[in-house]
Amino acid sequence: MDCPSRLRLRPWVFKLFVFEGKIIYPARVSHKSARIAAMIESFQGQELDARYLGYFDCYNRQLFYEAHDVLEDLWLADRHGPDGNFYKGLIQLAGAFVHLQKNRLRPSAALFKLAQTNFAQYPARHERLNLAAVRLLAAGWLVQLEKDVFQTNPLTPRNVPQLALQTCF
């Protein structure tokens, strides 16, 4: 017999969909989804997906964990699509910086390597991102970690990288 104390309940936000005054069905949305929606609200209605744009906004504000969450929401919907590994690589890039922020140097290096692997199948410019520069960025951080045999965290407030999308190619 299962012990009820082992059950983990997740908090949910419920949205009711109303059509002509009648409730159609309830859809559950996690607190995480609601938080992501709030973070990307200002990017809605633009040419690129709001979650993709939100990733860069969070990343450039050094909110690497949030950048990971925002893009993960997009990746989950497209993980087997043509951009699945591209999104996964960006998620791993942000995750590498989360680990650096927490002084976890070896896990950070592992994520930089995984990101490079996931970017390998894409051209130098993809989805308005200079991916060649991003590859060099990941490689450079990996070199810094490995040259000191994971003894020194290269991340400082002055050298946090910024990512920018290009408007045209």
Q: What pTM was computed for the model?
A: 0.80
118, part of any domain: yes
46, part of any domain: yes
Its domain, for residue 141, covers 35-147
141, part of any domain: yes
Amino acid in position 101:
Q
Structure confidence by residue, pLDDT tens digits, 35-81? 888 888 999 999 999 999 999 999 999 999 999 999 998 999 989 99
Beta-carbon contacts of 62 under 8 Å, excluding residues fewer than 6 positions away, are: 97, 101, 160
Contact 70, 36 (CB under 8 A): yes
| 25: three-class secondary structure by DSSP | strand
CATH of the domain at 45: 1.10.3450.10
13, part of any domain: no
Instruction: Give the total number of structural domains in the chain.
Output: 1
10, part of any domain: no
Residue 113: CA count within 13 A, CB half-sphere: 9
14, part of any domain: no
For the chain, the C-alpha Rg in angstroms (whole number) is 19
Residue 3 has pLDDT above 60, yes or no: no
| 11: three-class secondary structure by DSSP | coil
11, part of any domain: no
Residue 33: what pLDDT?
A: 76
d(CA 106, CA 149): 9
25, part of any domain: no
